């Protein structure tokens, strides 16, 4: 689009939705609009601002503002206008190659929420959890903020820090400082247990995920895998076509994978090739399993009888696509809703597992930064979280949020047990060892994975 025509970009974008409008540019450079009265009103407003506003205006900002307002009027958190920087970040996320903290963020009911951290990312290491409510980013309130604006504040160059002020249900408000890094490219992680069960964790649905999954299945089958646990926990979704391709690995040819409904018209997507996996399988999900992850979970259950284990999923049942413009900006728009094979719409409802399983309560505790110091006479939610961690490790701490002499003695005992300086202050190496032991305990006591394997073994008999 020519630069001298920037001032009609908003009209041209809108006109793509209707052909009942024409533009006439006079010799004096004025623009007249004939056709639909609604578009004449829009241009009249633009002209008035351009000609009469008491300060100098910026054509591009006016155009961007018009588009942003049009998209915002849809009241849909998944439809958004992205400027050049935001569009680049979105495209990088889809290709699973970018720098930041590595967490999917969404706006829901006016709140900026963590959908799920990415495996191996700074966000996961910092202990971010699904449904964490981001109250502030580097001290700036997210109230009334668009999700794209929040993401632009959170994302940044490798090695830089971002401070998040969070609210976590059942824990309270916590501050987390995260050092940004390069986000891992891999989206599929697989291992074979001693019982010949293939555990396949899928962290997102990016451009190469279906190929990664096929390779993981082939490698596990060569090693003698007798069954599979498909771990979709904390998987925020991604590319719909990848979910369809991957679901086909577990579903017989001709069976329905999903349906897409657009303005009342339904399109049914079926398995187009012979299934790849014939061994028993189960799917593992939690509240961070969203979008494409929910497509796959529902497809495997409803069209292949595969049981779902874990917790209710996030509940995102809409489909978006992105329209890129010559200046690098983009509009991401909800174009349809997707339905499960039986025609159910899980939007804002989620998918209930057939077999429910939760992680231990300490799995929801926040990350404590080794850079912060907690000592005698301190108090608050973070002290209370630390006390619960010590409880989980077998120490007789009271979770009252008070750093009293009794808790100081417990910290000293922990330090002595781990060859640390026994000064009774929770900071530095003491905090690092505490967090590492909690993570190791959770890894060794993954009650959801244990339940999934238990269910799978019954299927394997």
Looking at the annotation, which residues are catalytic?
291, 316, 320
| Of 328, 367, 426, nearest in space to 123 by CA | 367
Contacts of residue 436, defined as CB under 8 A and 6 or more positions apart, other chains included, come to: none
Closest residue by Cα to residue 402 from 388, 420, 383, 416: 383
Residue 187 · residue 216 · CB < 8 Å? no
């Amino acid at each position: 689009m020519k630069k001298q025509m920037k001032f009609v970009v908003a009209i041209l974008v809108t006109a793509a939705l209707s052909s009942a409008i024409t533009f006439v540019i006079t010799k004096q450079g004025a623009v007249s609009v004939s056709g639909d009265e609604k578009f004449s009103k829009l241009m009249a407003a633009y002209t008035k601002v351009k000609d009469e506003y008491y300060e100098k205006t910026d054509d591009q900002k006016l155009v961007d503002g018009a588009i942003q307002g049009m998209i915002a009027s849809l009241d849909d958190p998944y439809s958004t206008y992205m400027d050049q920087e935001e569009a680049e970040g979105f495209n990088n996320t889809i290709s699973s190659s970018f720098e930041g903290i590595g967490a999917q963020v969404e706006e829901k009911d006016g709140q900026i929420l963590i959908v799920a951290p990415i495996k191996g990312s700074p966000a996961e290491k910092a202990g971010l959890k699904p449904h964490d409510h981001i109250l502030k980013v580097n001290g700036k309130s997210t109230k009334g903020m668009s999700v794209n604006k929040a993401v632009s504040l959170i994302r940044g160059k490798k090695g830089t820090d971002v401070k998040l002020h969070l609210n976590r249900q059942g824990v309270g408000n916590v501050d987390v400082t995260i050092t940004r890094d390069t986000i891992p490219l891999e989206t599929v992680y697989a291992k074979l247990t001693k019982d010949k069960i293939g555990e396949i964790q899928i962290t997102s649905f990016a451009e190469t995920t279906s190929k990664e999954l096929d390779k993981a299945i082939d490698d596990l089958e060569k090693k003698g895998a007798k069954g599979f646990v498909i771990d979709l926990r904390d998987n925020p979704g991604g590319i719909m076509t990848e979910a369809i391709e991957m679901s086909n690995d577990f579903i017989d040819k001709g069976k329905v994978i999903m349906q897409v409904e657009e303005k009342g018209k339904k399109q049914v997507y079926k398995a187009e090739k012979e299934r790849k996996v014939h061994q028993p399988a189960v799917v593992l999900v939690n509240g961070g399993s969203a979008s494409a992850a929910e497509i796959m979970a529902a497809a495997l259950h409803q069209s292949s009888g595969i049981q779902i284990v874990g917790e209710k999923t996030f509940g995102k049942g809409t489909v978006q696509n992105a329209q890129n413009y010559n200046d690098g900006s983009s509009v991401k728009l909800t174009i349809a809703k997707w339905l499960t094979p039986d025609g159910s719409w899980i939007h804002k409802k989620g998918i209930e597992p057939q077999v429910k399983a939760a992680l231990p309560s300490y799995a929801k505790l926040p990350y404590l930064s080794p850079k912060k110091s907690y000592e005698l006479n301190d108090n608050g939610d973070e002290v209370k979280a630390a006390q619960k961690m010590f409880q989980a490790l077998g120490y007789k701490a009271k979770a009252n949020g008070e750093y009293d002499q009794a808790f100081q003695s417990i910290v000293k005992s922990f330090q002595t047990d781990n060859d640390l300086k026994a000064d009774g202050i929770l900071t530095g190496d003491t905090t690092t060892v505490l967090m590492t032991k909690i993570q190791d305990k959770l890894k060794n006591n993954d009650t959801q994975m244990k339940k999934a394997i238990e269910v799978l073994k019954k299927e394997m008999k």
